[in-house]
A and B are shown apart, each in its own frame.
Chain A
Amino acid sequence: MMGFQIVVLWSDALIWLLVAAGVGVGLLIARNPPLLAAWRRVGANRVGMASATVLLAFILIGLLDSLHYRVQLDGKPGQKATYAIEVLSLLDVLASPLRTRNEKTYSAPFATRLYAKESIDLPGQGTVRDYPRLKYGGQHLGEREDEVAADAGLTAGRAVLLALLGWLAVAGLASAAVRQGSAAVNASGWQKIWRGETAFAWNAVLLTLLLILLFAVPLFWLAGQYHVFGTDKVGQDVLYQILKSVRTGLIIGLVTTLVMLPMAVLLGIVAGYFRGWVDDVIQYIYTVLNSIPGVLLIAAAVLMMQVVIDTHPQWFSTAAERADLRLLALCFILGITSWTGLCRLLRGETLKLRELEYIQAAQAFGVSNGRIIIRHILPNLMHIVIIALVMDFSGLVLAEAVLSYVGIGVDPTMTSFGTMINNARMELGREPAVWWSLVAAFSAMFVLVLAANLFADAVRDAFDPRAA
Chain B
Amino acid sequence: MLKVDQLRLGFTAGKQTLAAVDGISFAIAKGETFALLGESGCGKSATAQGIMRLLPAAGRILGGSIQLDGEELLALPEADMRAWRGSRMAMIFQEPATSLNPVLTVGRQIGEVLERHRNLRGAGATERMLELLRQVGIADPERRLGEYPFQLSGGMKQRVMIAIALAGEPELLIADEPTTALDVTVQAQILDLLAGLQAERGMGMLLITHDLGVVARMAHRIGVMYAGELVEVASREDFFSRPQHPYTQALFAALPEVSRRGMALTTIPGQVPALSAMPAGCRFAERCPHVMAVCREISPPWREPQAGHAVRCHWQAEAAEENPLPPPAVSEAEVERPSFLAVSDLKVHFPIRRGLLQRTVGHVRAVDGVSLAISAGRTLALVGESGCGKTTVGKALLQLIKPSAGSVRLGPNELVGMAPKRLRAARRHMQMVFQDPFASLNPRLRVGDIIAEGMAALSTENDAEARLAAVAALLQQVGLPEEVAGRYPHEFSGGQRQRIAIARALAVQPELLICDEPTSALDVSVQAQILNLLKKLQQELGVAYLFITHNFAVVEYLAHDVAVMYLGRIVEQGRAEDVLRAPQHPYTQALLSAVPVPRLDAPTAVIRLGGETPSPAKPPAGCHFHPRCPHAMPVCREAYPETRRFSATHTVNCHLLP
Question: Taking A357-B434, A360-B400 as contacts, is the C-beta distance between A365 and B443 under 8 angstroms?
Answer: no
State the CA gap A93–B347 with chains docked (Å).
77
- Is A34 within 8 A of B434, CB to CB? no
Q: How far is the CB of B455 from chain A (nearest CB, A)?
A: 9
Query: Given the complex of chains A and B, what is the CA–CA distance between A357 and B400 in angstroms?
Result: 11
Q: Does B363 count as interface, using CB distance less than 8 angstroms?
A: no
Q: A117 within 8 Å of B by Cβ? A: no
B427–A380 CB distance below 8 A: no
* Contacting pair A380 B444 (CB below 8 A): yes
Name which residue of chain A comes closest to B435, CB basis. Answer: A357
A34 touches B490 (CB 8 A): yes
Q: Would A371 and B442 be within 8 Å (CB), given that A33-B488, A365-B427, A365-B508 are in contact? A: no
Could you tell me if B440 and A357 are in contact, using CB atoms closer than 8 angstroms?
A: yes
Q: Tell me, yes or no, whether B395 is within 8 Å of chain A by CB.
A: yes
Among A32, A364, A375, contact of B432 (Cβ-Cβ < 8 Å): A364
A111 CA to B598 CA in the complex, in Å?
A: 90
Chain A residues with Cβ below 8 Å from B436 are 357
Given the known interface contacts A363-B400, A367-B457, the answer about A357 and B439 at a Cβ–Cβ threshold of 8 Å is yes
CB atoms of A360 and B432 under 8 A apart: yes
B454 lies within 8 A of chain A by Cβ = yes
B271 to chain A, nearest CB (A): 20
Give, as a whole number of angstroms, the nearest-CB distance from B292 to chain A.
36
* Across-interface contacts of A357 in B (CB, < 8 A): 434-436, 439-440
Q: Which residues of A contact B400 (CB under 8 A)?
A: 360, 363-364
User: What is the bound-complex CA distance between A363 and B440, given in angstroms?
Assistant: 12
**Smallest CB gap from B487: residue in A:** A33
Question: Closest CB of chain A to B185's CB: distance in Å?
Answer: 27
Determine whether B188 belongs to the interface, using a CB cutoff of 8 Å to chain A. no
Say yes or no: B427 contacts A358, CB within 8 Å: no
**Binary interface encoding of chain B residues 429-460 relative to chain A, with 1 for a CB under 8 A from any of its CBs, else 0:** 01110111001111111000010011001100
Q: Are B439 and A34 in contact (CB under 8 A)?
A: no
Residue B55 CB within 8 A of the other chain? no
The digit string for B458-500, where 1 denotes a CB below 8 A from any CB of A, is: 1000000000000000000000000000001010000000000
> With A and B bound together, what is the CA distance between A32 and B454 in angstroms?
22
Contacts of B458 in A (CB 8 A): 365-366
| CB-defined contacts of B450 to chain A, threshold 8 Å | 358
Interface residues on chain A, size class:
20 to 34
- Cα(A376)–Cα(B435), bound, Å: 19
Give min CB distance, B105 to chain A, whole Å: 29
With an 8 Å Cβ cutoff, the count of chain B residues facing the other chain is 30
Binary interface profile of B, 400-418, with partner A (CB < 8 Å = 1, else 0)? 1000000000000000000
Q: Contacts A366-B424, A367-B457 hold; do A358 and B442 have CB atoms under 8 A apart? A: yes
Evaluate contact between A34 and B453: CB separation under 8 angstroms.
no
B432: chain A residues within 8 A (beta carbon): 360-361, 364
Q: Chain A's nearest CB lies how many Å from the CB of B436?
A: 6
A362 touches B (CB below 8 Å): yes
Give the residues in chain A near B439, CB-CB below 8 Å.
356-358
Which of A32, A34, A366, A375 contacts B423, CB < 8 Å?
A366
Residues of chain A in range 358-401 having any CB-CB distance to chain B below 8 Å = 358, 360-368, 371, 375-376, 379-380
Tell whether B398 is near chain A: CB-to-CB under 8 Å: yes
Q: Quick one: CB contact mask for A27-57 with B, threshold 8 Å, 1 for yes?
A: 0000011100000000000000000000000
Give Cα A379 to B444, complex, Å.
7
Contact of B504 with A by CB under 8 A: yes
Checking B441, B454, B488, B490 against A365 with a beta-carbon cut-off of 8 angstroms, the contacting residue is B454
Kindly state the separation between the CA atoms of A375 and B440 in the bound complex, as whole angstroms: 14
A residues 119-139 near B (Cβ < 8 Å) are none
Q: Which residues of B contact A362 (CB under 8 A)?
A: 453, 457
Given the complex of chains A and B, what is the CA–CA distance between A361 and B498 in angstroms? 13
Interchain CB contact under 8 A, A367 and B453: yes
Instruction: For A375, list chain B residues within 8 Å (CB).
Output: 442, 445, 453
| B376 vs chain A, min Cβ distance (A) | 20
Q: Is the Cβ of B442 less than 8 Å from the Cβ of A380? A: yes
Tell me, in angstroms, the Cα distance from A376 to B501 when the chains sit together: 15
Minimum CB–CB distance for A98 against chain B, Å: 47
Assembled-state Cα–Cα distance A364/B507 (Å)? 13
The distance from the CB of A198 to the nearest CB of chain B, in whole angstroms, is 13
A376 and B457 alpha carbons, distance in the complex (Å)? 14
Q: Would A34 and B443 count as touching, CB distance under 8 A?
A: yes
Q: How far is the CB of B562 from chain A (nearest CB, A)?
A: 25
**Residue among A360, A362, A366, A371 with the most chain B CB within 10 A?**
A366
Residues of chain A contacted by B488 (CB below 8 angstroms) = 33-34
What residues of B have a CB within 8 angstroms of the CB of A361 in the complex? Answer: 432, 434, 440, 501, 504-505
- Tell whether A365 pairs with B444 under 8 Å between CB atoms, given A34-B490, A360-B395, A360-B400: no
Residues of A within 8 A of B442 (CB): 358, 375-376, 379-380
Complex: A32 Cα to B443 Cα, angstroms: 12
Q: Find the residue from A33, A357, A362 having the highest chain B CB count within 10 A.
A: A357
Is A366 touching B457 in the complex (CB atoms < 8 A)? yes
A338-367 CB mask vs B (1 if < 8 Å, else 0) is 000000000000000000111011111111
Question: CB-nearest residue of chain B relative to A360?
Answer: B400
Contact residues in A for B427 (Cβ distance below 8 Å): 364-366
Determine how close the nearest CB of chain B comes to the CB of A192; give it in whole angstroms. Answer: 14
Q: Which residues of A contact B (CB under 8 A)?
A: 32-34, 356-358, 360-368, 371, 375-376, 379-380
18 A-B contact pairs sorted by A residue (CB < 8 Å): A32-B444, A33-B488, A357-B440, A358-B450, A360-B395, A360-B400, A360-B432, A361-B432, A364-B398, A365-B508, A366-B423, A367-B457, A368-B457, A375-B445, A375-B453, A376-B445, A380-B443, A380-B444
The 6 A-B pairs at the shortest CB distance, nearest first, are namely A366-B424, A357-B440, A357-B434, A379-B444, A365-B454, A367-B457
